[in-house]
């Protein structure tokens, strides 16, 4: 009996899907940076209109046993009015036995609204890094703080995308950076020369960067806090996105005394620094979700501490954006 005959008898119909590799995501987001940022702004401004439509289960984090470093995470969501169903399975590749020099691994799926099959499969590293940078810059944008001196601590993928979005969307052309990893710094410089040839980059030690910055973006793998009220109380905007696991830390709790705490979602309080601070049991410090902060009026002399560990809604939006661009589909949300 022929293979196709058996297949027909078993009714094993194929499930058509598009595979989106890392460089495809990267190129689309680089080429359409400002449009994606405006899409993100529009969504957050209209979040309340989607509130009853959005299903956002808590991110599930599975920590490895037997002294194996890293974890893997399950991140689902759906937005009914957009006919958008999504799930991401992302791993923290600290062991790097087979996949080298790539900390974020895994796949994300856009799921057909009616038939529930995966119609698009994405590599996760590039788009996850870009959306992490994007949500940081969006928080700055929503803070209505005009800045000239910007510091970036951590010059990996997220650090580069942060600089690129600030350059393209906010026309910032000067950055002070800090990174103890020389390879990451050299890669950052090479990428900036290619994509932002008119940008000025200064490489300084952390304390010098902090003393001379009005805004600081952190995207590190630090295990102990880097910023505290002693070295950073003068900084008007701080974004921390690197401490997205319980063994990582970027911010000391003392900064809660000088800055207003904003987060992308209350889900982010379940990991990293905010989990260490036990915010869920404290009444003196209640973070404001970005979707509410964005609707507030400008507050003079406001100092903002923004912390994100990522949520699936951001991933779903960016994957839909990439897929629509690949297929020349108008996306209005």
- Which of the four pLDDT bands, split at 50, 70 and 90, describes residue 298? low
Q: What is the DSSP letter of 58?
A: P
Partners of 174 in the β-ladder = 200
- Is the confidence at residue 198, as pLDDT, over 60? yes
CA 43 to chain centre: 16
- Which of the four pLDDT bands, split at 50, 70 and 90, describes residue 299? low
Angle at 87 between CA 86 and CA 89, to 5 degrees: 155
The C-alpha atoms of residue 120 and residue 322 are separated, in whole angstroms, by 10
CA 129 to chain centre: 6
- Is the confidence at residue 333, as pLDDT, over 50? no
| pLDDT (mean) for 53-75 | 90
- Which of the four pLDDT bands, split at 50, 70 and 90, describes residue 281? low
Task: Choose between 55 and 301: higher pLDDT.
Answer: 55
pLDDT tens by residue, 201-255: 999 999 999 999 999 999 999 999 999 999 999 999 999 999 998 889 999 999 9
The pLDDT, as a whole number, for residue 331 is: 41
The pLDDT, as a whole number, for residue 145 is: 80
pLDDT tens by residue, 168-188: 999 999 999 999 999 999 999
Q: What is the DSSP letter of 97?
A: S
Name the percent of the chain lying above pLDDT 90: 79
- Is the confidence at residue 326, as pLDDT, over 70? yes
The C-alpha atoms of residue 320 and residue 298 are separated, in whole angstroms, by 31
pLDDT tens by residue, 158-170: 999 999 999 999 9
Angle at which helix 125-143 crosses helix 22-31, to 10 degrees, equals: 30
The pLDDT, as a whole number, for residue 182 is: 95
- Which of the four pLDDT bands, split at 50, 70 and 90, describes residue 282? low
The pLDDT, as a whole number, for residue 332 is: 43
Task: Choose between 179 and 145: higher pLDDT.
Answer: 179
| Mean pLDDT (the chain, rounded) | 92
Partners of 76 in the β-ladder = 87
Contact criterion met (CB below 8 Å) for 171 and 196: no
The pLDDT, as a whole number, for residue 185 is: 97
| pLDDT (mean) for 117-134 | 98
Predicted TM-score of the model (pTM): 0.94
Name the percent of the chain lying above pLDDT 70: 96
The pLDDT, as a whole number, for residue 14 is: 94
The C-alpha atoms of residue 239 and residue 220 are separated, in whole angstroms, by 11
Residue 302, C-beta contacts closer than 8 angstroms, at least 6 positions apart: 143, 145, 236, 260
Contact criterion met (CB below 8 Å) for 154 and 162: no
The C-alpha atoms of residue 207 and residue 211 are separated, in whole angstroms, by 6
């Amino acid at each position: 009996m022929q293979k196709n005959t058996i297949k027909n008898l078993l009714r094993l119909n194929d499930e058509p899907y598009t595979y989106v590799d890392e460089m495809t995501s990267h190129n689309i987001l680089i080429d359409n940076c400002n449009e994606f940022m405006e899409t993100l702004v529009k969504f957050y401004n209209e979040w309340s209109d989607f509130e009853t439509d959005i299903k956002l289960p808590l991110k599930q984090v599975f920590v490895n046993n037997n002294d194996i470093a890293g974890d893997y995470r399950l991140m689902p969501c759906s937005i009914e009015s957009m006919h958008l169903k999504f799930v991401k399975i992302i791993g923290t590749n600290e062991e790097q036995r087979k996949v080298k020099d790539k900390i974020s691994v895994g796949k994300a799926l856009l799921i057909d609204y009616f038939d529930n099959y995966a119609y698009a499969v994405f590599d996760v590293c590039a788009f996850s890094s870009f959306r992490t940078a994007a949500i940081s810059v969006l928080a700055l944008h929503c803070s209505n703080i005009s800045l000239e001196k910007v510091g970036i601590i951590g010059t990996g993928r997220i650090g580069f995308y942060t600089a690129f979005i600030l350059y393209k969307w906010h026309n910032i052309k000067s950055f002070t950076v800090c990174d103890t990893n020389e390879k990451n710094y050299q890669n950052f410089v090479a990428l900036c020369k290619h994509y932002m040839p008119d940008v000025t980059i200064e490489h300084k030690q952390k304390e010098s960067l902090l003393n001379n910055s009005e805004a600081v973006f952190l995207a590190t793998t630090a295990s102990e806090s880097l910023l505290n009220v002693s070295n950073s109380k003068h900084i008007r905007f701080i974004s921390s996105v690197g401490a997205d696991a319980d063994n990582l830390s970027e911010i000391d709790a003392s900064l809660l005394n000088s800055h207003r705490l904003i987060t992308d979602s209350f889900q982010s309080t379940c990991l990293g620094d905010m989990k260490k601070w036990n915010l869920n049991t404290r009444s003196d410090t209640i973070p404001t979700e970005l979707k509410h902060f964005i609707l507030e009026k400008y507050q003079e002399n406001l100092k903002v501490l923004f912390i994100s560990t990522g949520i699936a809604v951001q991933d779903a939006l960016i994957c839909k954006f990439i897929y629509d661009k690949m297929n020349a589909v108008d996306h209005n949300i």
